[in-house]
Every structure is written in C-alpha cells, then in structure tokens.
C-alpha cells in the first residue's frame, strides 16, 4: 500500500470466522500520511508590516492539532506558540511543524512595523560649478516608488531589488520629492534640496567696476 489514507484490515479464516488478536479485536486500523501539515497566516520568506495581521493556524489531514509538534523561534530564540496565535512583535520568525507521521514543514518570515527613516548628504556643500551627488540613506532596504525613480541609483540592492542606499546626480539646483516602500509594504515620502550649484560665469558691462587685472572692455565674460 502506497496511497495516503486511513485503512482498516479485518482478519478472518477460510470459513469466515474473524480472527481476534490478543486485544480481542478482529481488525486493525492504520494511516498512511505523506503530507506535511498546512500553515496558514504566513508564507515562507514573507514580510508583514503595520497593516498586516499575522495569525498562524495549523492543519493536518490526519493528525489532530494537539498531535502536531510546533516550534517557533524569533530572531533565533524559541518562543511560546500554539495554533491560532497572533504575532505582533517585530522580528524574523522560523516556524517548524511536524505531524504524527513525521512529515515536517518549515517557514521563515519577517514582521517589520518599524518606521522608515531617511538621511541625505551631499558630496559638495559649498558653492560649486560642478554636478552634485546626493546620497540618500534609509534605515532598511526600500524601493523608490515615485515617478522620478529613474534618477535614483540603488547601491548593493538585494535579490528583490530593495536597497538601503541610493545616489542622485544633480546637474542643477532644485528640490526632489520622492516616495518609497519597504519589503513589509510600509511606505513613506521625503525630499531634499540642492541649492549650491552655480554654473553661470560672471558678466561685466562697460561702466561697472571691474576686478583688478581686467580691462575696461565693452563686455568681458
């Protein structure tokens, strides 16, 4: 027998008489179970944010809930857990469940309800005729979601395309507004302003005081 299911075997002799075992029973019942328990409420590699409710429920085809062994770790430390619990604390969780037949399933997921913080710096702070590079740093990996996302260059993005640091090359003065989202779908907005770029050469007109060393020409640029 190889198929999953609950089986009952009845023993009898050639005359049809049921043969009872030492317990006085003429039949035995057994289960073939090759399927791991089902976990609902969280997915493997899932991220859950401020707007998510993480209620974990276990189910198995043949084992009762009380027969499912469940171990939950938060940031590597074992914490108490029972099917139907709602998890609210930030952290990375690993849930391992094993049914009565030894079938096992394990998932890892993250709860992240922390606000996203932003910091910006410029490579040049004084008046300059050069382009200015602005570095935008977040406290955790994000994606830029605003329409101007193409001007942001992600540094060391993860496999999902989220990064904690971006650069923006500013060729002229201006304010950049932008929006972002983290892997747990927490969102935010911010902006920065660059005002120290001056690429216009000075112009001197006849009749005006000229710097030392310049001739009083009609116009000098």
Q: How many CB atoms lie within 10 A of CB 120?
A: 16
Q: Which two tokens stand for residue 144?
A: 């830029």
Q: Which two tokens stand for residue 47?
A: 């991220």
- Distance between alpha carbon 146 and the CA centroid of its chain, in Å? 19
pLDDT for position 217 = 47
Q: Which pTM was predicted?
A: 0.75
Element (H, E) at 111: strand 104-111
3-state secondary structure 53-121: CEECEEECCCCCHHHCEEEEEECCEEECCCCCCEECCCEEEEEEEECCCCCEEEEEEEECCCCCCEEEE
pLDDT for position 209 = 58
CA distances (Å), origin 201, targets 125, 193, 204: 19, 22, 10
Give every residue of the chain whose pLDDT is below 50, as ranges. 217-221
pLDDT for position 67 = 86
**What's the chain's length in residues?**
221
Average pLDDT taken over every residue of the chain: 87
pLDDT for position 62 = 76
Q: Are 180 and 138 within 8 A, CB to CB?
A: yes
pLDDT for position 35 = 79
| 104: nearest Cα among 64, 54, 74, 60 | 60
Rounded (5°) CA angle 173-174-175: 150
Strands 104-111, 46-48: pairing is parallel
Q: From CA 119, how far away is CA 135, in angstroms rounded?
A: 8
Q: Which two tokens stand for residue 107?
A: 């998932």
């Amino acid at each position: 027998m190889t198929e999953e299911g609950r089986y009952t075997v009845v023993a009898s002799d050639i005359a049809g008489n049921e043969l009872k075992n030492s317990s006085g029973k003429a039949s035995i019942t057994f289960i073939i179970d090759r399927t791991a328990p089902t976990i609902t409420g969280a997915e493997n590699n899932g991220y859950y944010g401020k707007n998510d409710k993480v209620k974990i429920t276990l189910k198995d085809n043949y084992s009762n809930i009380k027969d499912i062994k469940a171990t939950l770790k938060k940031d590597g430390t074992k914490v108490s857990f029972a099917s139907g619990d709602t998890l609210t604390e930030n952290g990375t969780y690993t849930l391992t469940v094993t049914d009565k037949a030894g079938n096992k399933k394990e998932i890892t997921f993250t709860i992240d309800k922390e606000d996203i913080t932003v910091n910006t710096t410029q490579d040049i702070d004084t008046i300059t005729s050069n382009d200015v590079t602005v570095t935008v740093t977040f406290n955790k990996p994000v994606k830029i979601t605003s329409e101007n996302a193409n001007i942001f260059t992600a540094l060391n993005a993860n496999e999902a395309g989220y990064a904690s640091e971006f650069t923006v090359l500013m060729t002229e003065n201006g304010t950049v507004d932008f929006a972002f989202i983290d892997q747990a779908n927490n969102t935010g907005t911010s902006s920065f302003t660059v005002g120290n770029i001056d690429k216009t050469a000075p112009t001197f007109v006849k009749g005006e005081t000229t710097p030392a060393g310049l001739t009083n020409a009609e116009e000098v640029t």
